[in-house]
Amino acid sequence: MEEQIQALKHAIDTNNFERVKALMIANPELHGAPLGYNRSPALTWVAECRLPWEPPGEARLAMAQWMIDHGSDVHQDAEAPLGRATLHGDRVAMMDLLLRNGADVNAGGSFPIIFGPCETVDPVALQWLLEHGANPNIAGGGALDYLIETYWRSRDLPASIDLLLAAGATSKYQVPALFAMLRGRMEEFAAEIDRDPALVHRQFPEFEFGATAGRRLTLRDATLLHVAAEYGLPSAARILLDRGADVNARGGCGQTPTFHAASQNQDYGLEVVQLLIDRGADLAMRATVPGHYERLDEFIECNPLEYALLFPGGENETTRLLRASMV
């Protein structure tokens, strides 16, 4: 059976529709082959369009429809086919197909379908779901909080937040300055700070989000400057620094804002790191911070450079800047 499963996977990955049909007709049990995310059946793997990584073409769409017509369950594993398809907006054609076959945009159990494009910060897929009736306030804290709390850093965050707010999404984070910042509304953000100057120095124990890039460090008990550093927002950081924010303020684990900016994937925090250095960040300051997200007991005593080197990206432009600035 394992050989047949691998043959099916190869046929799917190469968009060989005729081979997929032949294999499944010969062995209908292959409809349950554990190929998808978390070992979901084959239709989930087809719907995700991960291999090849491209929008679903005619062959892939025909394959999905044939599988549904001949024994695959569109609702399998709490609507996993639609859930995986909605991770990226270039799969809209697959989403449309699954919806035509009865997929439920409000299914998903403890991980509702709408959380998928919130996790990947994809406004195209998110808009598709909302236009087709997805509830942004489903399951606990709802989609808006999940979007803010996701590990993915993206310039599409403001558009995604705007879509959810327009759809009536609510949040447990009742800090208007936070939303102005994350939505990229700098005039509004500056006005919030000027209205309440104490916000510049306030620490927020309720900010349990901010983990990214394989690390567990969050923004608990951190300042808004830490938030700006975490989300790669130099304009917001500049507004705060111009109003007296402490460039070396300590967060809940003793970390400075530089820890957050320096440890981002793909130099995402580089511009903020440069700004913090220009404004006097002490790069030798050390803290005992959470380590890798899969090692829950791991805590590391380090400075920002040492922390950044532990996570994906390792030696990059950001770490080279830090090293050169410490000489």
What CATH number does the domain containing 77 carry? 1.25.40.20
Name the domain boundary from 78, 104, 130. Answer: 104
Would you report the helix, strand and coil content of the chain in percent, each value rounded to 5?
Answer: 55, 5, 45
Q: Does 242 fall in a domain?
A: yes
Q: Does 65 fall in a domain?
A: yes
- H or E element in which residue 111 lies: none
Instruction: Quote the tokens at residue 308.
Output: 């950044």
Residues 29, 36: contact at Cβ < 8 Å? no
Instruction: Looking at the structure, tell me whether residues 98 and 210 fall in a common domain.
Output: no
Name the domain boundary from 61, 78, 104. Answer: 104
Q: Does 126 fall in a domain?
A: no
pLDDT, residue 91, reads 98
pLDDT, residue 45, reads 97
- What does the alpha-carbon distance between residue 300 and residue 286 come to, in Å, rounded to a whole number? 10
pLDDT, residue 305, reads 97
Q: Does 295 fall in a domain?
A: yes
Instruction: Looking at the structure, tell me whether residues 99 and 199 fall in a common domain.
Output: no
Name the domain boundary from 46, 74, 104. Answer: 104
Q: Does 293 fall in a domain?
A: yes
Instruction: Looking at the structure, tell me whether residues 199 and 318 fall in a common domain.
Output: yes
pLDDT, residue 140, reads 63
Give the count of domains, the chain: 2
Instruction: Looking at the structure, tell me whether residues 201 and 303 fall in a common domain.
Output: yes
pLDDT, residue 141, reads 65
Who's near 88: CB < 8 A, 6+ residues apart?
Answer: 49, 117, 120, 122, 125
- H or E element in which residue 289 lies: strand 287-290
Q: Which residues of the chain have pLDDT under 70?
A: 139-141, 313
Q: Does 147 fall in a domain?
A: no
Instruction: Quote the tokens at residue 146.
Output: 């999940």
- What does the alpha-carbon distance between residue 42 and residue 5 come to, in Å, rounded to a whole number? 9
- What does the alpha-carbon distance between residue 252 and residue 216 come to, in Å, rounded to a whole number? 13
Instruction: Quote the tokens at residue 151.
Output: 């590990």
Q: Does 161 fall in a domain?
A: no
How far, in Å, are 217, 287, 306, 327 from residue 284 at the CA level? 18, 10, 10, 11
Instruction: Looking at the structure, tell me whether residues 201 and 319 fall in a common domain.
Output: yes
Residues composing the chain: 327
Task: Identify the domain containing residue 284 by its residue range.
Answer: 195-325
User: Which tens digits make up the pLDDT trace of 68-126?
Assistant: 999 999 999 999 999 999 999 999 999 999 999 999 999 988 899 999 999 999 999 99
Q: Does 123 fall in a domain?
A: no
